[in-house]
Chains A and B, each alone.
Chain A
Amino acid sequence: GAGVSQTPSNKVTEKGKYVELRCDPISGHTALYWYRQSLGQGPEFLIYFQGTGAADDSGLPNDRFFAVRPEGSVSTLKIQRTERGDSAVYLCASAGGRLATNEQFFGPGTRLTVL
């Protein structure tokens, strides 16, 4: 079946603008994670959803970042008043279904550039 998809693949915005990044998880996966990967670094955890609820948002860097998953499938990561330091690749991963819940499958990411 289809893997995790993310849109857009690239997003260029100006400092201070608002952006939304979308994640479509693997069908049937109940767990969804967002990570941020800065250049030359490993991904860093942002937020975890189990179903519709944000069960762990301890990785969000500040209150400009917010994520939703209203129907337990698609998730949107929202960033307000973007800053140049927000430039990174934002990765989404899903887990669950018939496999062990801690096997996470990643999407291709959205490359965000804040000018």
Chain B
Amino acid sequence: QQQVKQSPQSLIVQKGGISIINCAYENTAFDYFPWYQQFPGKGPALLIAIRPDVSEKKEGRFTISFNKSAKQFSLHIMDSQPGDSATYFCAASRASGAGSYQLTFGKGTKLSVIP
């Protein structure tokens, strides 16, 4: 059972355009939703994160939109640049009884921003 579904698998965007990546989750106990950016040969780097008590969070060119009733959230990258070309992962977590906030990841979206 895939608890976090991510789409699209790959995305090509023109420089200056808006990149949109979508995720849907199943477990309503999730209470923390981060997005990670990963370049080849590197570990994932935290971009931006949101909690379900807000519907939107913006940091620079990156915005998360969150729809609790639909159990969906999305990442918008405004004014996309070639340097944004990377794989993006959405994730979700909740506190376990052991104090763990283990992350459940989507399968990733490979973004290519072309000049």
A residues lining the B interface (CB < 8 Å): 4, 31, 33, 35, 40-45, 48, 50, 55-56, 59, 91, 93, 95, 101-109
Contacts and interface: CB of A to CB of B under 8 A. Distances in A.
Interface of B: 4, 6, 32, 34, 36, 41-46, 49, 89, 91, 93, 95-96, 98-108
B41 to A, nearest CB: 7
A54 B91 CA distance: 22
A91 B32 contact: no
B94 to A, nearest CB: 9
A6 to B, nearest CB: 8
B108 A56 contact: no
Contacts of A102: 32, 93, 95, 101
A56 B98 contact: yes
B99 A55 contact: yes
Contacts of B42: 108-109
Contact of A45 (B36, B95, B104): B104
Contacts of A56: 96, 98, 100, 102
Most buried by A among B46, B93, B98, B104: B98
Contacts of A50: 98-100
B49 A103 contact: yes
B43 A109 contact: yes
Given A106-B43, A107-B43, A42 B101 contact: no
B108 A40 contact: yes
Nearest to A95: B101
B43 A55 contact: no
B42 to A, nearest CB: 6
